[in-house]
Structure 1
């Protein structure tokens, strides 16, 4: 029996990424029985069960996880091949991307209308989280990550360097004084940030005459959400260090004040990561758009 292998793979990937047969059918605008049949044919063709189905959820088998990991870049390459021979063909389809909450809310979402003007047939499924997500498990095409990257099965493309700031509320500084040197920080309270993967407290960084200094500052509050982080600083609970664009609106209103301007925080690298060496055309144009957007904001 002949099967359309390309179409079956496409349906399989959509099931994995949408989380259900019904949602995959809706997304692809095909009948639900066609989705079930495609998976059955694909499993027969492969000679292996790719997923376990229950009434509530879908779990990939080990063979299914391997098949998904290896088939997704092939599908992207096939789309790019068609695009190469049809240059007038508009980019279409979905991009599944994850990024930090503050970056999504303050930088990307306010400017997305410009991206859609350039690429009206691309659908972006944007998850914003300050927790590190598993790219394979969550079916992500790409993700934005700040700072030095942990080892992983992905490729990274540098997008920009983000300006960082150290600041505090006027109420906190009135109660505890303004630090004049890096050594003064040990007499202050930090609102610290925790790495969601390792559960380790992030150190603070400052430029000095002899290079970058890594400092741990005492603090009674540790957070992993950017919105709560700013709220804690505005409430006068301690010093903050983070992305400048997150603090500048509050600094302009006088609700936060930059501290230690003579020892600024070094910029942090922003990278786009993706799970395989082939960068699809859709992800590439999104990456280029982000890079251009950030270059205009410097």
Structure 2
């Protein structure tokens, strides 16, 4: 019997004014009730009851102890709601991820998740900049690229290849480069989230990086892709995002024979042992979705 159980026994004895009645209601031997009271008196060095052969009544200190104990038990009952909440099917999940991954891969399939948990709210922070799980108080983050954070649990999903693309109109104007050296005669669309102007842009491949001129710099992925569609330069985006444009002949994949850069995709979580059931389901669902869509892209 732990301390909380002993306190509950004590409170019942006060209310019943009887060790025997308390034992009967709890379904315990009377000796267990007596031991619980004696252990509290010994621990706190206080006499809690006046005992006679006919009557049990709390001492002055016992009455004060009763007020404190009932308040503590009430607070613990309030805390128990967290256990109920963790088992329930209602709550919220806050998640951060790159904007295009949110709009192109996750949002189109969220109704599938809601079929299982219709009362769970998804608070989605879709941003081209890195979302910071702890600083922004998020439950999880999808991160494209290398991650080094000793305070987070890293759940690997897959690798995504980075494709190099240009529009048919751009290639009709300037020709399709066959080697990386020819890129010096071409233009890229430069992309930086924060103000960071440089004279040259840079395309990255698995074994090397190539500097090349640019005519346009943008600060979000929507504008970056749209610039390529308008024929303003060469871009590099993840395979999952590139495939639909290539299949629709809106963009052309370049340098297919040159090994492209691959980046890991991970789900980042705080290393919590206890998670609500709906949150763990969401993580498993998201893991399956990303693997299916990205590996199959």
TM-score normalised by structure 1 residue count: 0.64
Structure 1 position 251 matched with structure 2 position 246: yes
Structure 1 position 236 matched with structure 2 position 231: yes
CA offset at residue 131 of structure 1? 1.7
Equivalent residue, structure 1, for 2:92: 94
* 213, 218, 222: which one aligns with 2:208: 213
Partners of 2:261 and 2:224 lie apart in 1 by: 20
Cα contact 2:157–2:291 (8 A) shared by 1: no
For the residue of structure 2 that corresponds to 1:163, the secondary structure is strand
CA offset at residue 203 of structure 1? 4.9
Q: Which runs of 5+ in 2 are unaligned?
A: 1-67
Q: Deviations over 1:108-167 (max 9, x none)?
A: 000011111122332211121112233334221111110112557433211222232111
Structure 2 vs 1, CA of residues 232 and 197 (structure 1 numbering), >3 Å: closer, same or farther? closer
Q: Deviations over 1:262-291 (max 9, x none)?
A: 114233211111244547344432222122
Structure 1 position 103 matched with structure 2 position 111: no
Partners of 1:7 and 1:175 lie apart in 2 by: 73
Q: How many residues align?
A: 222
Equivalent residue, structure 2, for 1:180: 178
Q: Within 5 Å, which residues of 2 pair with 1:73-152?
A: 79=83, 89-149=87-147, 151=149
Which has the greater radius of gyration?
2
Structure 1 position 287 matched with structure 2 position 244: no
Q: Which runs of 5+ in 1 are unaligned?
A: 11-74, 84-88
RMSD: 3.3
Structure 2 vs 1, CA of residues 279 and 294 (structure 1 numbering), >3 Å: closer, same or farther? farther
For the residue of structure 1 that corresponds to 2:164, the secondary structure is strand
TM-score normalised by structure 2 residue count: 0.64
